[in-house]
Copies of this chain bind each other. A is one copy, B any other.
Amino acid sequence: MIFVTDLEGVLIPEIWVEIADKTGIPELRLTTHEVEDFETLMAARIKALAAHGLKLADVARIAQDVMPFAGSIEFLSWLRRKGPILVVSDTFTELADEIIMRLGGYPLFANRFETDGGGRIVGYKLRIRGQKDRMIVSLKDIGYHLVAIGDGFNDLSMLKIAHHPILFNPSPQLSAKLPGQPAVRDYVELKKHIEQILRANKNDMA
């Protein structure tokens, strides 16, 4: 059994919403929940940051103060006893690394920013989006039973690949795409559901 989980919305709040609040730039509040097209969304974010003279270090400083959801660290400690945990997210390593260390240092598979000589964000490398599926499929090929946890539309393909998709407080768009799949509202329900999966797969655990 291996666990692949999204970050924002499942373990921590949306980082860009926090950045919007702290910087007072309302355009930064939009997430993949509102704007499905990631490229459009990121272009708008980079433009807004440039317009306000904000550099990567500025937003990274705000991001590193984002607090995990209450109970998420304990949930992950519990989950790690059941199998390896991978955090797969459309976020950026530079924004999420400190939070990931706070969560327990699990491996984070995310994108990276590109900056100019002055530390301004000029672009990004999409290491994850569109490519994470290959890694997840290869874990399945090795013979692992895959449990995936996600909340948003951008987790759809990961959830579809997994043997056991779990929707965590899913957005309406995501629920519409995966009708009948288990959805949970909090870590208590999530643990219960994972325990059920573990019991059902006791004789076939990877």
Contact = CB atoms under 8 A, between A and B. Distances in A.
Interface string A129-167: 001101101110111100000000000000000000000
B143 A125 contact: yes
How many copies of the polypeptide does the oligomer hold?
A: 2
Contacts of A205: 112
A85 to B, nearest CB: 6
A42 interface: no
A128 interface: yes
Contact of A84 (B77, B107, B131): B107
A137 B131 CA distance: 13
Interface stretch (A20-28, A50-58, A98-106, A168-176): A98-106
Given A127-B144, A143-B125, A144-B127, A109 B84 contact: yes
A138 B134 contact: yes
Contacts of A33: none
A120 interface: no
A-side interface size class: 20 to 34
Contact of A101 (B80, B85, B107): B80
A206 interface: yes
A83 to B, nearest CB: 8
Contact of A141 (B85, B131, B144): B131
A86 interface: yes
A108 interface: yes
Interface of A: 2, 77, 80-81, 84-86, 97, 101, 104-109, 112, 125, 127-128, 131-132, 134-135, 137-139, 141-144, 205-206
Given A105-B105, A137-B138, 13 more contacts: A80-B105, A81-B97, A104-B105, A106-B107, A109-B142, A112-B206, A125-B206, A127-B143, A131-B143, A134-B138, A134-B141, A134-B142, A135-B139
